[in-house]
A and B are shown apart, each in its own frame.
Chain A
């Protein structure tokens, strides 16, 4: 029995990666859930919004790098983030003005809006390929590690090392700041409260003189910001590839639905539930178990419940279980 080493191995391969991935999914799900709460449709273009935002961030990053501007030990992309958010927000507001507003005024059914979002998804996807291509792009610079496995071993004298990548730390810190700001905005500001009011009861919000166009615009801006941040953090942590971002739609929707569509707090919880389940189900537990059981019982196989290629199956299974047994999500969402 070697609980300490087992814990470190667990932290290194499950907890830390799960935390970072969970934060990324949560930020993505927050954007999707806000759109659902205010505009009342599932935005299938959200994954591609994340990709487009990241593309903008990469372009600005390259620009900064060409000018010799860096951000010290932090990735230059963080410096580029505000610019990328502005560009993405402008783009998304443009799509609202040109595309969605028409259907909103018609009071179109949610399914029609979903199909419309498919069209927007195609355009964003194409545009993104047009701008930056389909290849894999690594744009992380700055320090690589907060702590390396070797340092950790030297420090603690344990056999197992705990490596924390700089991008993982940045993800978690950024996510905490962003979520804090978002909740402050929703709970304390007049505009934020009007968004919650609109999401809660649209007719009454109109009777109270809340301007729907303004609420919708602010929502798009926030969603674009969240999508860009989520996309950049994911890209820094792993790498950027437009198609992967499209596929993130599934865990993001799973997270939003698990937490209760339209409920921001739920989206965050959902993000971590989905991320940790995915990591835990696809992790080979052999290493951790070897430390925990007597040598004679050490497992032969990898003790992996499912191959990593089936990570979508995890999001999906959680989604189906929640939809069948708790249709409004763990936290109450709008879905009656």
Chain B
């Protein structure tokens, strides 16, 4: 089987002397959605940050389209076509929605109008609020701004750290719909989710992490069907 488009292989590392990740592997194919679930403190966000280069690895490697990017800074990874939406503080609150999108496209020197139109098509509400300060929007709208900002670089991979944290179930469903739409345009999506059940439903691939290593890895459907996964991680 050919190598996945993005893979963080056998990653080991942590913030200080203590490792949080122990040989953890995450991968996502082009245009697919991979979801990382697991109990609190399992190292889900840490694994994500490791893939994005926000944490130094002591072992393992990260490859994008076959190229080893393990030593690149997060900024350099942005230039390589990766985009990251942090869990909190993921928008510029004092700037307008449109300025948030412009800042997302900061590295691009070409015309960004087309991409902006695509983002507005994806999230029509943002277009009506384009001149409003992003900090004044509701929680769900702010998440849309955050995702929109990340999409402005025209990334090949979009990484989302708990995009539905703190939003209502209706908004969550809508956000997931949008994420599926994004994936259909050929962008790979790697995301961490608390709402494991709903996330696995839309996932092509699911990773269940426990204590910094892979406990189960399978398609989203298969994981949903696995009685052990259901019992331990999906609440029955």
Q: Are B78 and A208 in contact (CB under 8 A)?
A: yes
| Min distance, Cβ A310 to any Cβ of chain B, angstroms | 37
Q: Are B93 and A207 in contact (CB under 8 A)?
A: no
Contact with B along A186-198 (1 / 0, CB 8 A): 0000100110110
Max chain B Cβ within 10 angstroms of own Cβ: one of A200, A204, A208, A209 = A208
Q: Which listed residue, B78, B89, B91, B102, touches A209 by the CB 8 Å rule?
A: B78
Q: Which listed residue, A193, A194, A203, A209, touches B79 by the CB 8 Å rule?
A: A209
Q: Are A208 and B86 in contact (CB under 8 A)?
A: no
Q: Does A74 sit within 8 A of B, measured CB to CB?
A: no
Q: Are B86 and A206 in contact (CB under 8 A)?
A: no
Q: Which listed residue, A190, A200, A208, touches B93 by the CB 8 Å rule?
A: A200
Given A193-B95, A209-B78, A209-B79: A204 touches B86 (CB 8 Å cut-off): yes
A190 to B149 Cα, complex, angstroms: 15
Q: Does B211 sit within 8 A of A, measured CB to CB?
A: no
Given A208-B104, A209-B75: A203 touches B86 (CB 8 Å cut-off): yes
Chain A's closest residue to B108 (CB) is A209
Max chain B Cβ within 10 angstroms of own Cβ: one of A193, A196, A204, A205 = A204
Q: Does A149 sit within 8 A of B, measured CB to CB?
A: no
Chain B's closest residue to A210 (CB) is B106
Given A193-B95, A197-B95, A208-B104: A203 touches B89 (CB 8 Å cut-off): yes
Interface residues on A, range: 10 to 19
Q: Are A208 and B89 in contact (CB under 8 A)?
A: no
Residues of B within 8 A of A205 (CB): 92, 103
| Min distance, Cβ B35 to any Cβ of chain A, angstroms | 21
Task: Count A-B contacts at CB 8 Å.
Answer: 57
Prevailing SS type, chain A contact patch: helix
Q: Does A296 sit within 8 A of B, measured CB to CB?
A: no
Residues of B within 8 A of A210 (CB): 103, 106
Q: Are A204 and B91 in contact (CB under 8 A)?
A: yes
Contact with A along B82-98 (1 / 0, CB 8 A): 00101001111111000
Q: Does B153 sit within 8 A of A, measured CB to CB?
A: yes
Q: Does B218 sit within 8 A of A, measured CB to CB?
A: no
Q: Which listed residue, B79, B95, B104, touches A200 by the CB 8 Å rule?
A: B95
Q: Does B107 sit within 8 A of A, measured CB to CB?
A: yes
Q: Which listed residue, A194, A196, A203, A208, touches B149 by the CB 8 Å rule?
A: A208
Q: Are B94 and A209 in contact (CB under 8 A)?
A: no
Q: Does B99 sit within 8 A of A, measured CB to CB?
A: yes
A207 to B107 Cα, complex, angstroms: 10
Residues of B within 8 A of A203 (CB): 86, 89
A193 to B94 Cα, complex, angstroms: 11
Q: Are A196 and B95 in contact (CB under 8 A)?
A: yes
Q: Does B148 sit within 8 A of A, measured CB to CB?
A: no
Q: Are B102 and A193 in contact (CB under 8 A)?
A: yes
Q: Are A207 and B86 in contact (CB under 8 A)?
A: yes
Q: Are A201 and B92 in contact (CB under 8 A)?
A: yes
A281 to B79 Cα, complex, angstroms: 57
Residues of B within 8 A of A206 (CB): 74-75
Q: Are B92 and A207 in contact (CB under 8 A)?
A: no
A208 to B82 Cα, complex, angstroms: 11
| Min distance, Cβ A261 to any Cβ of chain B, angstroms | 14
Residues of B within 8 A of A196 (CB): 92, 94-95, 99
| Min distance, Cβ A185 to any Cβ of chain B, angstroms | 14
CB interface residues, B 98-129, toward A, < 8 Å: 99, 102-104, 106-107
Residues of B within 8 A of A207 (CB): 74-75, 78, 84, 86
A13 to B86 Cα, complex, angstroms: 55
A212 to B93 Cα, complex, angstroms: 19
Residues of A within 8 A of B95 (CB): 193, 196-197, 200
Q: Which listed residue, B78, B89, B92, B107, touches A197 by the CB 8 Å rule?
A: B92
| Min distance, Cβ A292 to any Cβ of chain B, angstroms | 45
A191 to B79 Cα, complex, angstroms: 19
Chain A's closest residue to B105 (CB) is A208
Contact with B along A129-152 (1 / 0, CB 8 A): 000000000000000000000000
3 nearest CB pairs, A to B: A209-B107, A200-B92, A197-B103
Given A200-B94, A207-B86, 7 more pairs with CB closer than 8 A:
A190-B102, A200-B92, A204-B91, A204-B92, A205-B92, A207-B84, A208-B107
Chain B positions within 8 Å of A, measured between CB atoms, are 74-75, 78-79, 84, 86, 89-95, 99, 102-104, 106-107, 149, 153
**Interface CB pairs A-B, < 8 A, 19:** A190-B106, A193-B95, A193-B99, A193-B102, A194-B103, A194-B106, A196-B95, A197-B95, A197-B99, A200-B93, A201-B89, A204-B90, A205-B92, A206-B75, A207-B75, A207-B86, A208-B104, A208-B149, A209-B107
